[in-house]
Structure formats: C-alpha cells, structure tokens
Homo-oligomer: A and B are copies of this chain.
Amino acid sequence: MNVGDKLRAIRKKHGLSQRELAAKAGLTNGTISLIEKNRTSPSVASLKSLLDAIPISMAEFFSILEEDDSAKVFYRAQELTEISPSHQGGVSLRQLGNAAHHALQVLHETYEPGADTGPEFLRHEGEEAGVVVRGSIEVTVDGAVSLLHAGDGYLFDSRLPHRFRNIGDEICEIVSACTPPSF
C-alpha cells in the first residue's frame, strides 16, 4: 500500500513538519515518523486525524494512493501479496501487483510436500496457465491427471474443475497467470 511515503509527500507539499502536523492532529511526532517509515500501519482513526489536519479527505487520499499503485510496474519479491487464506493446506499464492486494477493476474505459487488445493475442485471464469519452476506437481483438469516437473506447463479454461496436489517430497514452485483475475 505504502501509506507512509504518500503521507510524507502530502505533508511536505503542505510545508508541515512532523511536529506541526502532530500538534494539529492531536498525535505525536514519533507516531508520524513510524507511519511514514511504514513501520506501523496506523489505525483508521489516527490516519483520519492526520488527514483532517492537513486537510484532505480519506477518499481523496486513497484515491491518489491506489492510482499510484496501479501505475506501479516493478515489484520486489517481498512485495508480492499472499492471497491464499492463511497458507491453507501448505499452499501459498503470492500475487503480483493489485489484480483488482488489471485484467491480468500473475501468481508465484508454492506447494509444500503434501499440499493440496482440493478435494473439492476449483472453478471460476477465465483462462489460466503456468510453468513449473521447481519440484513437481500433480494437476487434475476435468478428470485428466498429469504429473508435471520443472519446465513443464499447463493451460486450460478455468471453468473446468481443477485441482493441484504436491505428491512429491520436495517443495514445488509455479509461476502462473489468470485472466480475468479471480479471488
């Protein structure tokens, strides 16, 4: 998200020091320092106090922020966002950018040994494809089963019921794409 950099940019544009803004907002300069360095995620209440003091509305702030985000092109490994609910079943799905603002969703997937997206099959709109980067994985699509190894790939209509299982004893990594994005 990068609330910190955006807050700092806006604060400076208005010619305020951390202490000045803190006084107006009823917070402390230390808090603003931590927020601007992205070392804490402020509460909605705190952020609102800060923006009221500038002043700028919450809607405006996030509107600018998310606009910036969707213009972002390069992503460091740690910036990919995990979209698998709490690494369920040893599966990690790390998404590139904010798919809500794009037609394309790219995932860096990791399957622990034994990891499984099933047993109930997945189905959603669109097409999806991927290449295995490390390890091996058993992919089932509409009844057809295949064991894919590093370098192998797949491509299918996402409406067909599908399932991924790591039946080996090594971690499996896949880079995949999906369009339109699904959640």
Residues of B within 8 A of A116 (CB): none
Contact B23 A55 (CB under 8 A): no
A33-61 interface bits toward B, Cβ cutoff 8 Å, 1 = contact, 0 = none: 00000001111111110001101011101
A47–B23 alpha-carbon span in the complex (Å):
26
Q: A43's contact among B25, B41, B61, B82, by CB below 8 Å, is which?
A: B41
Contact A57 B48 (CB under 8 A): no
Residues of B within 8 A of A183 (CB): 24, 53, 55
Q: From residue A178, how far is it (CB to closest CB) to chain B in Å?
A: 15
Residues of B within 8 A of A24 (CB): 85, 183
* A139 in the interface (beta carbon within 8 A): no
Q: How many residues of A contact B (CB 8 A)?
A: 31
Q: A1's contact among B1, B44, B63, B85, by CB below 8 Å, is which?
A: B44
A53–B66 alpha-carbon span in the complex (Å):
16
* A3 in the interface (beta carbon within 8 A): yes
* A100 in the interface (beta carbon within 8 A): yes
Residue of B nearest to A44 (CB): B41
Residues of B within 8 A of A61 (CB): 62
Q: Which residues of A contact B (CB under 8 A)?
A: 1, 3, 23-26, 40-48, 52-53, 55, 57-59, 61-63, 65-66, 82, 85-86, 100, 183
Q: List 15 A-B contacts (CB under 8 A).
A: A24-B85, A25-B85, A26-B82, A26-B86, A41-B43, A41-B45, A41-B46, A42-B44, A43-B43, A43-B44, A52-B100, A53-B183, A55-B183, A59-B65, A63-B63
